[in-house]
Structure 1
Amino acid sequence: MFNHSSADQNVGWERDIKNQIVVYRTLRDIKAGEELCISYGQRLTFKDADAPQYVDEGDGTQLLGSIQLDT
Structure 2
Amino acid sequence: MGKAGKALKQVLEDYSISQFALAVAMDVERNNVYRWVNEKRDPTAETVIEIVRALKTLKPEAAKAFVNLYVGNEV
**TM-score for both structures, normalised by structure 2:** 0.22
Report the structure, 1 or 2, having the larger helix content. Answer: 2
Asked which structure has the greater CA Rg, the reply is 1
